[in-house]
Amino acid sequence: MPGISESSIKVDRTVTGLQTNRRIWIEATSDSTSRDEQARQVEQLFQLGWSVNDVDANKGVSVRLHTSPQVIVGDLLDSSWTDREFRSSPASFRALVVVPRSSLESKLGKWPGDVPDLES
């Protein structure tokens, strides 16, 4: 993905009673200082997480994007990303935004979503 120097993806699995919950966690480092470019990267990372077809992420997708200086990543997404969860403090939370499954389905369609074009 252009402008991303490091990235990782993992699945967080928790069990509550008989229910297994899964969330896709994506962490990346942006080389860009452009707010528009960072916003595009965050959207592509959510699309990428939603396209993982071997893990039904019933708890949604979390994206942690490291920037320099660190921006509030949740502010990069426009208001059409409903129910996004993020904080501006403490500073360690600025890089993180979480979107639940229902919002991902509203924005990106049914799971698994299409694999995004990561070349542009």
Higher pLDDT, 119 or 55: 55
Residue at 93 is within a domain: no
- Report whether pLDDT(120) > 70: no
Can you list the positions of beta strands (E) in the chain?
4-16, 19-30, 61-66, 96-99
19-30 and 96-99 beta bridge pairing = unpaired
Does some domain include residue 119? no
Contact present, 62 and 26 (Cβ < 8 Å): yes
Residue 48 domain boundaries: 4-87+100-108
Provide the domain count of the chain: 1
Q: Is residue 57 part of a domain?
A: yes
| Residues 32-60 pLDDT 10s | 999 999 999 999 999 999 999 888 999 99
118: in domain: no
Per the domain annotation, does 113 fall within a domain?
no
Query: Are 86 and 97 spatial neighbours (Cβ–Cβ below 8 Å)?
Result: yes
Tens of pLDDT along 20-36?
999 999 999 999 999 99
Query: Domain for residue 95, yes or no?
Result: no
65 belongs to a structural domain: yes
| pTM score of the predicted model | 0.93
Q: Show Cβ contacts of residue 31 under 8 Å, excluding neighbours closer than 6 positions.
A: 3, 4, 5
